Amino acid sequence: MTHRLIAFGLCWAALTAATASPLHAENLRETALVRAIKRANPAVVNIHTEKTAVDRDAIFSSGNAKPRKINGMGTGVIIDERGYIVTNYHVVAEVDLIRGTLHDGASLTARVVALDRQHDLAIIKVDASRPLQVMPAGTSSDLMLGEPVIAVGNAFGYEGTVTSGIISALARDVEVNETQSYKNLIQTDASINPGNSGGPLLNMNGEVVGINVAIRAGAQRIGFAIPIDDARQIIARLMSVEQLNQTYHGLVSKDVKKGEVRKLVVDTVQPESPAAKAGLQAGDVVVKIADRTVNDGADWELALLDRPVGETVPVVVQRGEKSETLSMALAPYLGGRSRMASEFVARANNDNSDAERFWRILGLKLAPLPPERTANVPSKYRGGLVVTDVRSDSPAATNGIKKDDILVGLRDWETLTFENVSWILNQSLPQGQNSVKFYVIRGRETLYGYIQLVNADAAAKPQ
């Protein structure tokens, strides 16, 4: 009897182990890497682009060159549920069509919101029918050599490709060519191939710690990424409500990071600004705007984006040991003229109106786009300004801008209002830029070229 009981017990234990082992094996399969990918994947966007090009050699040899379409690819990271996506500048610059494929397979047309060529970053937007999942943001301030990381992207057009590796080095400076260089990059041995550009470099928590850039052709196990802390500061500038909404808050802040903790600390408050009137003070830690948590300057700008002038929004701050809720209402942005420190800009702005300034510097007279002409503007642009006159001796005329063209962009920004154009000049002139790129709609075509700012300014001065 005893032997029988022992034998039965052994059989029962074997059966129990057999039925339990598949569950146990499944738990072993779902590693930290798998969980990180599951968490981040819904916020990764596969980007496909098209542009039209003409072979210059064919133009000179036959004089009858036909344009051809060039397809491009890249990756993006969703930073806001309204469809705002960060990617690389080189992925979406100077293309005719951008399409973003979401994690669920939906393919949507995207438009460029803002570009930063110097730092190789861009913001694009898709109009989805639902709120999109935002990529969890980590910090690059405490990355460690040897720390495991994951790259996700549209490698060679194979959407959703995942590779893994470690952080090989930090603070790398890389010069690609005479016009493009990078500072403070993360180096990894995770494979970052063409098409990965603009995608996330993840930590094992499934948080983005870098924006991938594919820049070393033929290199094996050497990839680079822009640290997310650097990228978020640029995103905050590109998504500034002053530029995108023509609204103004007057808060100057700094991002503070300690380990995994990120917070936005008020540095200064401009006098008589909405932030000053709300009672914000230097040293305050901004915790929330309405129901949105704020961890850095990008969160602050995104939380205020699309809010109209005069709308009161609650701002929760930590002041010492106390939490306070303040009320702030955005004001109209007046182009920043009273706040610009540059003497050159102050002198250039000493015109009676923006219109006179545009005529003097650009050689253009501009007017708001009439409703009946909005159909002429492709859907990837939000609008523009109509060219009503072109000064005959101006670089605008020399470079082919004509009366009745629709100006949709200058440099890396859209031109919906006079304030947009003035803001772009304010950014360009103090930097000593000799020219700015322009984009115009003529008939059904989008044309671009360059206006020589210095020459335009000199040509308009009395001799």
- In the numeric block, the tokens 């003035």 are attached to 422
Distance CA 374, CA 1 (A): 93
Catalytic-labelled residue, pool 90, 140, 240, 253: 90
Instruction: Please provide the size of the chain in residues.
Output: 463
Q: Are 281 and 252 in contact (CB under 8 A)?
A: no
Residue 197 annotated in active site = yes
Q: Using H for helix, E for strand and C for coil, what is the string for the chain?
A: CHHHHHHHHHHHHHHHHHHHHHHHHHHHHCCHHHHHHHHHHHHEEEEEEEEEECCHHHHHHHCCCCCEEEEEEEEEEEEECCCEEEECHHHHCCCCEEEEECCCCCEEEEEEEEEECCCCEEEEEECCCCCCCCCCECCCCCCCCCCEEEEEEEECCEEEEEEEEEEEEEEEEEECCCCCEEEEEEEECCCCCCCCCCCEEECCCCCEEEEEECCCCCCCCCEEEEEHHHHHHHHHHHCCHHHHCCEECCEEEEEEEECCEEEEEEEEECCCCHHHHHCCCCCCEEEEECCEECCCHHHHHHHHCCCCCCCEEEEEEEECCEEEEEEEECEECCCCHHHCCCHHHHHHCCCCCHHHHHHHHCCEEEEECCHHHHHHCCCCCCCCEEEEEECCCCHHHHCCCCCCCEEEEECCEECCCHHHHHHHHHHHCCCCCCEEEEEEEECCEEEEEEEEHHHHHHHHCCC
Four-point Cα dihedral 182, 187, 192, 196, nearest 10? -50
Distance CA 234, CA 230 (A): 7
Catalytic-labelled residue, pool 120, 229, 405, 412: 120
Residue 168 annotated in active site = no
- CA separation, residue 121 to residues 86, 207, 237, 385, 412 (Å): 7, 19, 11, 26, 11
Catalytic-labelled residue, pool 140, 191, 197, 422: 197
Residue 48 annotated in active site = no
**Token couple for 142:** 């405490």
Q: Which of 381, 387, 349 is nearest to 368 (CA)?
A: 387
Distance CA 324, CA 315 (A): 8
Any idea which residues carry the catalytic annotation?
90, 120, 197
